């Protein structure tokens, strides 16, 4: 008998516009000791399935039909109090972000001991002993000393171990892990995944692993279920499903996953069903077309690139850059102390080059971008843009030409667009600010044309940002950056907030634009596979220091620095599926 059996699960959320079906007739089985992956893009219903199994559906959601059986017992027949006794005791859960899933006011010991004693009749001392053993088992070597610490005293990876210990402490039969490694750096991710693998094998715990990351799925799951819009697309043995997908959607999804092993010129065969793009998009501005936008952008380029030295001087030269953040207020008797976010950074970037910056969180990637674009003042060192010294942000005049020539695309398209302005106002702003158009009609024409250039219908200019999906918003953000006619684009994790198929579309778009306009792009990402697809050269940062500069192809063949080798080794990859 299967440990967990979900049969024909349909979850509905009543809304003002009728019922929204979050999952539709979903069936799956999890055996004891098995790791079952649920994969799909946002809105696929992965998390809803997890919540339904826990009996913790967000109100007003309800289970329309189907059944959930745990070791043969129908969970849906339980009343709330009976269900609450199942939680923790037989099914437990691991959440995405270890920063927020532990109670900040209680020590780790408090939280563990309370949970253990909730479900078994042991003394506080016994529970404490058990808790220490568990923490050791999950990889906290000095558990005895650290058990009385508070969550904020642990690092992210350590916290996730505590979370896992908490999920395990009542010896549940099933654990639902909802994106357990998404908020972690790759090295920590590797360790946590290995831990989950061990626990499944040694303790016979069944896992449901919810993730959007195909790399993670391929690394540790035995079975996988691919979901889309609340329906099961394909299900079966992980290797089988990922390597020989039978469904078109799975195939398209796999094609959209950036690979570490090879550089594709473009992503092919990608899913396109952005519903807003379809439909009535015949509305047009007179004379507007993608061609117009591209001609206009090209003409702008030539005029700014007339200098004969342009090809030889690097477009950006960074020399001995150092950024220090002052920490807090200076004490009465001590001098100001600071954290060095970046130190001793040196590199050149050539015109038309795409330079990647990789590193784990806290490595200084974004600080580097911000000091170039002028949002952070360097504490030492020199920046030169096309041979001219680049003043620090606070001294850079508002009308300084560099303000137009360097544009930035941010990570989160939900917060980088002003929701109170229409798309037309958003895109027209740089044109008006830099006085790039002759008159209003021209501005309007340009806005419509550039939207078409980023593969959006012209009609989009009449709407507000909230009417678009994440991928469409990011296209709008790209259009806004382009319309300033920049030579230099800084993309700070431009696809990290997006689903893989959307990511593939945006990456394709950026590649096309880069080729068409010969843009120099500084491309920041924590995702090595994306860096491989996008960049010519890359920098590796660690704790604010430069570890390695390398040609991208060479880096992936033979990384020089030990840290780079480690980084590559720890990044989940699909290649082992072939090798196995």
Partner 1 sequence: MLTFISRRLLQSLFVMLAVSLIAFALFRFVGDPVAQMVGQETSIEDQERIRERLGLNDSIPTQFVRFIGKLASADFGYSYRTRQPVSEMILTRLPATLELGFVSLLISLLIGIPAGIYTAIKRGGALANTLLVTTLVGISIPTFVIGIFLIYLFGVKLGWLPTFGRGDTIALGWWKTSFLTLDGLKSMLLPALTLGVYQLTLTMRLVRAEMQDVLKTDYIKFATARGINYRSLYFNHAFRNTLIPVITIIGLQLGGIIAFSIVTESVFQWPGMGLLFLDSIRYVDIPVMSVYLVLIAMMFVIINLIVDMLYFFIDPRVRLASEAN
Residues that bind partner 1 (CB under 8 A): 54, 56, 84-89, 91-93, 95-97, 100-107, 111, 114-115, 118-119, 150, 152-153, 163, 166-167, 170, 331-332
Distance CA 120, CA 459 (A): 62
Output the smallest distance, CB 95 to partner 1, in A.
5
> Coil, strand, or helix at residue 523?
strand
Output the smallest distance, CB 105 to partner 1, in A.
5
Look at strands 406-409 and 388-389 and give their pairing. unpaired
Output the smallest distance, CB 510 to partner 1, in A.
33
Output the smallest distance, CB 159 to partner 1, in A.
11
The nearer residue to partner 1, 146 or 370, going by C-beta atoms, is: 146
Look at strands 206-211 and 223-228 and give their pairing. unpaired
Cβ partners under 8 Å of residue 449, min gap 6 = 285, 288, 289, 290, 291, 292, 293, 296
Output the smallest distance, CB 206 to partner 1, in A.
16
The nearer residue to partner 1, 58 or 272, going by C-beta atoms, is: 58
Query: Which two three-digit tokens encode residue 415?
Result: 């917060």
> Coil, strand, or helix at residue 454?
coil
Output the smallest distance, CB 427 to partner 1, in A.
35
Contact, 273 vs 253, CB < 8 A? no
The nearer residue to partner 1, 107 or 187, going by C-beta atoms, is: 107
Distance CA 580, CA 570 (A): 18
The nearer residue to partner 1, 121 or 280, going by C-beta atoms, is: 121
The nearer residue to partner 1, 182 or 289, going by C-beta atoms, is: 182
The nearer residue to partner 1, 262 or 327, going by C-beta atoms, is: 327
| Helix H or strand E segment including 253 | helix 248-256
Nearest CA-CA partner of 99 in 143, 148, 160: 160
Distance CA 59, CA 229 (A): 20
The nearer residue to partner 1, 183 or 254, going by C-beta atoms, is: 183
Output the smallest distance, CB 160 to partner 1, in A.
12
Output the smallest distance, CB 6 to partner 1, in A.
17
Q: How many angstroms from the chain centroid is the CA of residue 406?
A: 24
Distance CA 580, CA 575 (A): 9
Distance CA 272, CA 101 (A): 35
The nearer residue to partner 1, 53 or 519, going by C-beta atoms, is: 53
List Cα–Cα distances, 233 to 12, 125, 269, 465, in angstroms. Answer: 19, 49, 17, 31
């Amino acid at each position: 008998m299967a440990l967990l059996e979900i049969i024909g699960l349909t979850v509905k959320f009543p809304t003002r516009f009728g019922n929204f079906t979050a999952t539709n007739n979903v069936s799956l089985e999890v055996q004891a000791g098995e790791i079952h992956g649920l994969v799909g893009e946002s809105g696929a219903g992965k998390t809803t399935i997890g919540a339904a199994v826990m009996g913790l559906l967000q109100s007003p959601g309800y289970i329309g039909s189907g059944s959930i059986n745990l070791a043969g017992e129908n969970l849906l027949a339980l009343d709330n109090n009976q269900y609450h006794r199942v939680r923790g005791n037989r099914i437990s859960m691991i959440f995405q972000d270890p920063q927020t899933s532990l109670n900040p006011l209680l020590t780790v010991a408090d939280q563990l001991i309370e949970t253990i004693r909730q479900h078994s009749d042991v003394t506080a001392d016994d529970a404490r002993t058990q808790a220490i053993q568990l923490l050791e088992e999950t990889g906290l070597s000095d558990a005895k000393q650290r058990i009385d610490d508070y969550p904020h005293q642990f690092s992210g990876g350590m916290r996730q171990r505590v979370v896992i210990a908490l999920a395990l402490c009542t010896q549940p039969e099933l654990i639902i892990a909802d994106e357990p490694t998404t908020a972690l750096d790759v090295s920590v991710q590797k360790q946590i995944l290995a831990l989950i693998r061990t626990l499944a094998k040694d303790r016979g715990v069944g896992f449901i692993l919810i993730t959007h990351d195909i790399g993670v799925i391929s690394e540790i799951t035995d079975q996988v279920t691919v979901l889309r819009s609340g329906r099961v697309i394909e299900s079966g043995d992980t290797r089988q499903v990922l390597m020989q997908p039978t469904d078109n959607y799975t195939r398209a999804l796999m094609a959209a996953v950036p690979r570490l092993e090879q550089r594709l010129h473009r992503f092919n065969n990608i899913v396109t069903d952005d519903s807003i793009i379809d439909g009535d998009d015949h509305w047009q501005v007179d004379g507007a077309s993608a061609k117009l936008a591209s001609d206009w952008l090209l003409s702008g380029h030539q005029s700014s690139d007339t200098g004969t030295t342009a090809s030889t001087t690097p477009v950006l030269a960074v020399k001995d850059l150092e950024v220090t953040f002052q920490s807090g207020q200076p004490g009465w008797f001590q001098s100001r102390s600071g954290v060095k976010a970046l130190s001793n950074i040196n590199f050149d970037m050539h015109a038309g080059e795409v330079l990647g910056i990789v590193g784990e969180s806290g490595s200084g990637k974004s600080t580097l971008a911000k000091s170039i674009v002028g949002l952070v003042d360097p504490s030492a060192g020199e920046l030169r843009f096309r041979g001219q010294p680049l003043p620090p942000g606070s001294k850079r005049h508002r009308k300084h030409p560099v303000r137009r020539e360097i544009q930035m695309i941010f990570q989160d398209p939900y917060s980088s667009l002003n929701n109170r302005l229409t798309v037309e106002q958003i895109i027209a702003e740089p044109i008006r600010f830099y006085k790039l158009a002759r008159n209003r009609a021209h501005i309007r024409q340009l806005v419509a044309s550039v939207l078409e250039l980023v593969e959006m219908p012209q009609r989009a200019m009449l709407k507000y940002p909230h009417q678009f999906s994440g991928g469409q918003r990011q296209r709008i953000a790209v259009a806004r950056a382009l319309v300033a006619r920049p030579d230099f684009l800084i993309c700070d994790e431009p696809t990290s907030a997006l689903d893989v198929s959307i990511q593939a579309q945006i990456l394709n778009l950026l590649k096309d634009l880069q080729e068409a306009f010969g843009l120099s792009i500084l491309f920041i990402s924590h995702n090595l596979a994306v860096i491989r697809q996008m960049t010519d050269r890359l920098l590796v940062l660690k704790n604010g220091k430069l570890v390695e500069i390398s040609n991208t192809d060479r880096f992936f063949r033979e990384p020089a620095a030990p840290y780079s080798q480690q980084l590559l080794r720890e990044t989940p990859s699909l290649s082992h599926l072939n090798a196995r």
